[in-house]
């Protein structure tokens, strides 16, 4: 049997145990502090997201239309928009009116309102005296705007015509290119304008317009590239849109043996053929025939046939 440790040995053993326990305790505290620091410290802030870069390098520039040609480039407004169904999806076009020409268009529009005895009742309601051969559903007003603005809008339409021909776009793709362009124009109620509508040339030059102001411009551009298009008008809904005679899904609006599908212009990216829920009341809509304008191609894009009533189930 071993002899018990001496008194000095007991002291050494006790000191060793004390040091061991102290070191273990400190190690535990240190580990706990490190874990606590890792969990409760603030998460490093992510790198700031850089602002959107310039227009994509793959975007196509359709050119700039200046009317007259001597108009300074600084007076042109450049539009940049996207068409997700096309490749590339990014497009750009410029349009500018000379100051004197813009004033002349504005003056002619005001004079037409006086001839029609236009009178505003509220910001959205008005009256006028239509001549005997004019309907009371705005078609005469739309026709007059299309005729009086034909030359100034045609310069913009030529940019689309040239691109569509160069890229061999079919009719549906060409319509989407134009419809999305007009959708991209800012929505704004015209102030102080007869009939609550801004002439189409001014819509493009000023980057603003309400539903029927944009609809007139869209119909002019669509017809110039050879797409049968007309204005859809609803007085009960206080709204206007565009009808396109194209083979897309959607409610059929008939005019004679022609069938048109709905195109919304006030919401950017709204699908062709789909009617917004608040306006999905087909019986409240009228199809207004569009006048023949100089400069229309008269032939469908890439031979796409216009749907007839017999083609619709």
Provide the residue ranges of all domains of the chain, joining segments of one domain with +.
60-311
Query: What pLDDT is attached to residue 301?
Result: 61
pLDDT along the chain (313 residues), means of 10: 45 44 40 32 35 56 98 97 96 98 98 95 88 83 96 98 97 98 97 96 98 98 98 96 98 97 97 97 95 68 50 45
Can you give the pTM of this predicted structure?
0.79
3-state per-residue secondary structure call for the chain: CCCCCCHHHHHHHHHHHHHHHHHHHHHHHHHHHHHHHHHHCCCCCCCCCCCCCCCCCCCEEEEEEEECCCCCHHHCEEEEEECCCCCCCEEEEEEEECHHHHHHHHHHHHHHHHHCCCEECCCCCEECCCCCCCCCCCHHHHHHHHHHCHHHHHHHHHHHHHHHHHHCCCHHHHHHHHHHHHHHCEECCCCCCHHHCCCHHHHHHHCEECHHHHHHHHHHHHHHCCCCEEEEEECCCCEEEEEECCCCCCCCEEECCEEEEEECCCCCCCCCCCCCHHHCCHHHCEEECCCCCCCCCCCCHHHCCCCEHHHCC
Query: What pLDDT is attached to residue 114?
Result: 96
Query: What pLDDT is attached to residue 223?
Result: 98
Query: What pLDDT is attached to residue 59?
Result: 81
**For residues 261 and 49, what is the distance between their CA atoms, to the nearest angstrom?**
41
């Amino acid at each position: 049997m071993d002899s018990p440790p001496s008194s000095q040995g007991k002291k050494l053993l006790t000191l060793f145990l004390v040091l061991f326990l102290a070191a273990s305790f400190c190690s535990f505290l240190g580990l706990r502090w490190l874990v606590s620091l890792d969990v409760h410290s603030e998460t490093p802030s992510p790198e700031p997201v850089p602002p959107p870069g310039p227009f994509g390098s793959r975007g196509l520039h359709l050119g700039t239309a200046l009317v007259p040609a001597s108009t300074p480039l600084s007076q042109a407004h450049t539009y940049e928009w996207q068409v997700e169904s096309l490749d590339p999806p990014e497009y750009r076009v410029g349009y500018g009116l000379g100051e004197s020409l813009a004033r002349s268009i504005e003056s002619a529009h005001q004079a037409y309102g006086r001839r029609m005895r236009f009178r505003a009742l509220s910001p959205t309601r008005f009256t006028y005296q239509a001549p005997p051969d004019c309907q009371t559903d705005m078609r005469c007003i739309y026709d007059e705007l299309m005729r009086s603005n034909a030359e100034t809008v045609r310069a913009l339409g030529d940019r689309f015509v040239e691109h569509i021909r160069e890229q061999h776009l079919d009719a549906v793709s060409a319509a989407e290119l134009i419809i999305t362009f007009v959708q991209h124009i800012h929505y704004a109620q015209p102030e102080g304008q007869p009939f609550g509508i801004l002439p189409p040339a001014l819509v493009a030059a000023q980057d603003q317009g309400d539903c029927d102001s944009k609809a007139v411009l869209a119909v002019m551009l669509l017809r110039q590239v050879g797409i049968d298009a007309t204005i859809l008008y609803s007085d009960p809904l206080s709204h206007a849109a565009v009808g396109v005679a194209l083979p897309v899904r959607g409610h059929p609006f008939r005019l004679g043996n022609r069938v048109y599908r709905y195109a919304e212009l006030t919401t950017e990216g709204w699908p062709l053929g789909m009617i917004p829920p608040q306006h999905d009341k087909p019986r409240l809509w009228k199809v207004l025939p569009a006048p023949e304008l100089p400069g229309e191609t008269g032939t469908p894009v890439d031979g796409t046939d216009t749907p007839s009533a017999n083609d619709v189930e």
